[in-house]
Structure 1
Amino acid sequence: MEPINKTGVSEFFLKGFSGYPLLEHLLFPLCSGMYLVTLLGNTAIVVVSMLDTRLHTPMYFFLGNLSILDICYTSSFVPLMLAHLLSSRKTISFTACAIQMCLSLATGSTECLLLAIMAYDRYLAICQPLRYPVLMNHRLCLLLAGTAWALCLLKSVTETIIAMRLPFCSHHIVRHFTCEILAVLKLACGDTSISEVFLLVGSILLLPVPLALICFSYALILASILRVPSAAGRRKAFSTCSAHLAVVLLFYGTVIFMYMKPKSKEAHISDEVFTVLYAIVTPMLNPIIYSLRNKEVKDAARRVWDSRQACR
């Protein structure tokens, strides 16, 4: 994917935190550590769910997809951001900016749909336990995950091409630490209405709609759990769903806080710091939440570790 550059722009300057050198030196070790934890934690989830046959279930298939998404999302901007935190040259080429924009849009959008799919999977597992193996078979898992990835990639490629084909007549300073589409659109001197319509429709389809489906699924799950006569059964069902609910609240809470604020509000450096932290903290916490709250994951990790030690 390489949009045609008719604007004469060869590169953009990512302003980020260039006016706050002390903050840059503070953010570098903090973000580096969180990025390392994100890579290790999510990679561990993917490896364990692949190597342990007991985790070859729809729930862990979708969890593995979520971990891959988090790795791709953070890797689309964190390495360059870390390099810019230590460098005075904070530029990015036109093509690299378009690729970064597309990847972040695609992975963020896919996560919105994937969380809704995971809620539907939990609904079937708890509310339709006898029919669950038939309803949520391997073919349907592949279809749901593949459709989410493909649709969001197509949407993001379209949004990126439309945005990057606009003329950029003013300065080329992006007031952000990454090529975030709204920040780049502020530099365009052409008609941005088409881009804004696409972004509005996408925001409606990927924020309120999946969130409503998630809330509806968990309302049905809660009603079903409360009818379980066994206290142990209720605890197990609550434990299974609480990790997913924590991830949903963390993801949607931060996204809605950042992107549903009034547009008239003046941007502050605190907003950018919060954006950096939520963009790295959320993917870092996902594997921690799932592994610490899930006995199956911890047992599987222990079995994989023991088998590797035995092979030595």
Structure 2
Amino acid sequence: MAARVGTTTDTGRPLPRITDPQKIAPQDARTLTQLFLERLAVIEEGTAEYQYARNTLIEMNMSLVRYAAGRFRSGNGQTMEDVVQVGVIGLIKAIDRFEISREVQFTSFAVPYIVGEIKRFFRDTSWAVHVPRRLQEARAELAKATEELHTRLGRAPRVAELAALMNLSEDEVVEAQIAANGFTSASLDASISQDPDDHETALAEVIGVEDPAFELVENFHTLAPLIAELGERDRLILHLRFVEELTQAQIGERLNISQMHVSRLISRIVAGLRSQMLVTR
């Protein structure tokens, strides 16, 4: 941050001018943090003095954020820069909510805010699909219990064994196992071929199948307005034949016409609808 000019609080006591807050030694940063927090509490919010004090506090305590972010280095797919940026949000919340009257060290107060914000970030972004928080937490416990039992037993643990260790029902363990599948996902375009000499096969080619119901739904949507345009008797005949599933003889008795006439009418109606559907497509 660029150098700032000195400012004066409501009491007339000036805040020290700090050219590069992030380069201040940790011991000096703790002393200056206490001073700036005391002044921040009495400066009118929204003023240039308030903004200077708040911004300087943030920069002086960036080492806290980096320390907390360093504890979360893992294969979560997030860069350290992203984690630090999230941690800064926690630091800002701590600065805004800190009360001098509590007589606690700012470091002790701020670290839980920073860590909490980072944990929330990973909880909200690390899952490929959304699952309830209780299942996210259960997945973490399941992983620990599985590893512990695998080491102890020398084999993959059974559901009953996991349930006993985790103090959960077997149904809850199974639910957590299913939810764990949502933690990661694979692209349908990902290659699954293990042999470099083989033709690359995409995952979609293996797990994807054509669902005939899709065409059926499309046919229904195309057919509905065509049926609506038919005359009342034609719609009734279709309803009796294909909905109530009456025989042609039963339809003839219902309409007081011959079975042969019913057969000709059904053939004509169906042929007309088929030709219109072909034109519509």
State the TM-score, normalizing by the size of structure 1.
Answer: 0.24
State the TM-score, normalizing by the size of structure 2.
Answer: 0.26
Decide which structure has greater helix share: 1
Larger radius of gyration: 2
Higher relative contact order (CA 8 A, sep 6+): 1
